[in-house]
Amino acid sequence: MSDTEQQSCPRKIFLSRDTTSLALGAEQVADRIRASEKHRGEDIEIVRTGSRGLFWLEPMIEVDTAAGRVAYGPLPIDQLDETIESLLDADCLAGDKRHPLCLGLTEAIPYLAKQQRFSFSRVGVIDPLSLADYQQHGGLAGLHLALTMSAGDILAVVSDSGLRGRGGAAFPTGIKWQTVHDVDSEQKYIVCNADEGDSGSFADRMLMEGDPFSLIEGMIIAGIAVGAQQGYIYLREEYPNAHSILKQAIASAEAQQLLGNNILGSSKHFQLELRLAAGAYICGEETALLESLEGKRGMVRAKPPLPAISGLFGKPTVVNNVLTLAAIAGILTRGAAYYRDYGIGRSRGTLPFQLSGNIKYPGLIELAFGPSLRTLLEDFGGGTYSGRPMRSVQVGGPLGAYLPAAQWDIALDYEAFSQHNAVLGHGGIVVFDDSVDMAEQARFSMEFCRIESCGKCTPCRIGSTRGVELIDKICTDGCSANNMNLLEDLCDTMTHGSLCAMGGMTPIPVQSALQHFAEDFSKQGEQDD
């Protein structure tokens, strides 16, 4: 590139606008760059992207070079002025790698390089609100294909891909869609469950903030496949940034005839509405979500009827997680076999794991199913943040099991986890070091259920309250046989008696804590003895 060319076009800095990035200071970085731009008289374009998911390196900026993007980070917030100036002085905009904060080519950073990014391939790369950017990076190819395919063919591809619901239940998406497709009804719905409420879970948000069109495209394709013309995104109320991005993305999709009548000039129609959730964990349960979407109190419905047969307003409804729907366009573009070739056993494709808690390198790691949990914790996570020994890991949200070191070699696979009374869930992984009190964590699991229970079924409504009380009692009075039998009975009653997974799975973390960390429960008892 010649000097004249360099001066004639503005030089670009890529900076994430993801919620986590903002929390780490990305907005201050942007402000500072703009200030420098002014006083230095330089012409710099800041492109706001999603996050690459390398949170320990953020705030991080990237610049384009012929070899690819080069990253700098983490930028120290308390020395931002000097850092930005020094970066600009060092001609970081040209990709000069000599600056101490230079991380080299972004995609060569091992944390990223070792991933198998499928659904997140564009996240952190593109401007989430630029449809042109989206298309340049392969977006809309799936939709264009879908518009030429029969519903049956789309359903076949989805089935063959082996894609399963990414919300946690891992129900085969193809079967769900086929069921909705097969019900004879003039009105059907596609509902995206974006009420991401699991502790340690942030992939849905990152995707919606980083690549919203992939979700929209997936929903349109779902609509075409099952014969639905109306979609809803039920978005977690506590995600204002995602809300604003999705709102703009939907508006621009409408303006570009991606949404509305006669999509891209075809005879297909699809309307999409964004709804803010009611601020309750239980509204992430699909039937409670539907109640809430209907404007009612978020209470779990008994199944049957399945939502696929009688869902929103009693009509056949696909309820899918954000990640499920966001994978669709890619699957269509690259073919069922491409996706299916990733993974092991019945767990096909990739899962974007979310690593957080007491961990050195927290972030988003999209991998094919199969490697061990330990790979994530050690190879990616690099041990605890505190530097103390790692003791316990909760996988799959607040209803997931606490796994001791002995179980960290389990393969990341739905079936392997379930064999160990654990769940992979939505792929959220929260790490604890050896200072954790697992009795306290078990209590917290019951407490979480107590706070979030919708109150409909008895085991969950009363059981969770009694559970908290009982664990308190165990912690003060000790693990007498009576107390432990009662807790076991309570857990059994909640597991087998609850109406939905909220009450039904609450015993998982409790019992795993009891089973693997029994010593934490008898501390008080021992002192009394």
Partner 1 sequence: MIKHWDPSAIDYETDYGTPAPQPEYSPEYAELPEVSLFIDGNSLKVPAGSSVMRAAALAGISIPKLCASDNLQAFGSCRLCLVEIEGRKGYPASCTTPVENGMRILTESGKLAALRRNVMELYISDHPLDCLTCPSNGDCELQDMATAVDLTEVRYGYDGKNHLQAEQDRSNPYFTFDPSKCIVCSRCVRACEEVQGTFALGIDGRGFDSKIVAGQKQSFMASDCVSCGACVQTCPTAALIDNAIIEHGQPQRSVVTTCAYCGVGCAFKAEMKGNQLLRMTPYKGGPANRGHSCVKGRFALGYASHPDRVTEPMIRDNINQAWRTVSWDEAVNFAADRLRTIQQQHGRRSIGGITSSRCSNEETYLVQKMVRAAFGNNNVDTCARVCHSPTGYGLKQTLGESAGTQDFDSVEKADVIVVIGANPTDGHPVFASRLRKRLREGAQLIVADPRQIDLLNSVHVASTLHLPLRPGTNVAFINAIAHVIISEGLEDDAFIAQRCETDAYREWKSFISDAKHSPQASAAITGINADDLRQAARRYANAGNGAIYYGLGVTEHSQGSTMVMGIANLAMLTGNIGRAGVGVNPLRGQNNVQGSCDMGSFPHELPGYRAIGDDSVRAQFESVWGVELDPEPGFRITNMLNEAVAGRYKGLYCQGEDIAQSDPNTQHVQAALRNLDCLIVQDIFLNETAKFAHVFLPGSSFLEKDGTFTNAERRISPVRKVIEPLGGKADWEATMALSNALGYPMNYQHPAEIMAEIASLTPTFAGVSYQRLEQQGSIQWPCNQDAPGGTAVMHETEFVRGLGKFVVTEYLPTSEKVTRRFPLLLTTGRILSQYNVGAQTRRTDNMQWHPQDILDIHQHDAEDRGIVDGDKVEISSRAGATVLTARITEQLQPGVVYTTFHHPESGANVITTDNSDWATNCPEYKVTAVQINKVTEESAWQQDFQQFSSKQQALLKDKLSS
- The rounded distance, in Å, linking the Cα atoms of 152 and 154 is 5
- The rounded distance, in Å, linking the Cα atoms of 479 and 518 is 9
Q: What residue type is assigned to position 369 of the chain?
A: F
Six-digit token string for 198: 């699991």
- Asked whether position 399 contacts partner 1 by CB under 8 A, the answer is no
Residue choice 116, 256, 386, 465 for contact with partner 1 (CB under 8 A): 465
DSSP sequence for 320-384: EEHHHHHHHHHHHHH-HHHHHTSEETTEESEEEEEEEES-SS-EEEEEES-SBHHIIIIIIT-S-
- Asked whether position 451 contacts partner 1 by CB under 8 A, the answer is yes
Half-sphere exposure of 111 (CA within 13 A, CB side): 23
Half-sphere exposure of 83 (CA within 13 A, CB side): 19
- Asked whether position 157 contacts partner 1 by CB under 8 A, the answer is no
Residue choice 486, 501, 522, 524 for contact with partner 1 (CB under 8 A): 486
- Asked whether position 303 contacts partner 1 by CB under 8 A, the answer is yes
Residue choice 450, 471, 479, 517 for contact with partner 1 (CB under 8 A): 450
Q: 17 with 50: CB under 8 angstroms?
A: yes
Dihedral (Cα; 446, 320, 129, 277), 10-degree rounding: -50
Residue choice 470, 475, 508, 514 for contact with partner 1 (CB under 8 A): 470
- Asked whether position 316 contacts partner 1 by CB under 8 A, the answer is no
- For residue 300, give every residue at least 6 positions away whose Cβ sits within 8 Å of its Cβ, in sequence order, or none: 282, 285, 287, 288, 291, 454, 456, 457, 499, 500, 502
Measuring CA to CA, which residue among 484, 482, 479, 444 is closest to residue 464? Answer: 444
* Residue placing its CB nearer to partner 1 in the complex, 306 or 322: 306
How far apart are CB 279 and partner 1 at their closest, in Å? Answer: 11
Helices (H) and strands (E) in the chain, counts: 23, 16
How far apart are CB 508 and partner 1 at their closest, in Å? Answer: 15
Residue choice 223, 362, 425, 463 for contact with partner 1 (CB under 8 A): 463
How far apart are CB 476 and partner 1 at their closest, in Å? Answer: 13
Residue choice 36, 358, 394, 498 for contact with partner 1 (CB under 8 A): 498
Q: 135 with 65: CB under 8 angstroms?
A: no
Residue choice 461, 484, 522, 525 for contact with partner 1 (CB under 8 A): 461
* Residue placing its CB nearer to partner 1 in the complex, 302 or 518: 302
- Asked whether position 334 contacts partner 1 by CB under 8 A, the answer is no
Residue choice 328, 460, 474, 510 for contact with partner 1 (CB under 8 A): 460
* Residue placing its CB nearer to partner 1 in the complex, 83 or 498: 498
* Residue placing its CB nearer to partner 1 in the complex, 383 or 497: 497
- Asked whether position 282 contacts partner 1 by CB under 8 A, the answer is yes
- The rounded distance, in Å, linking the Cα atoms of 517 and 471 is 14
- Asked whether position 457 contacts partner 1 by CB under 8 A, the answer is yes
- Asked whether position 294 contacts partner 1 by CB under 8 A, the answer is no
* Residue placing its CB nearer to partner 1 in the complex, 38 or 303: 303
Residues that bind partner 1 (CB under 8 A): 280, 282, 297, 302-304, 450-466, 469-470, 482, 486, 489-490, 492-493, 496-499
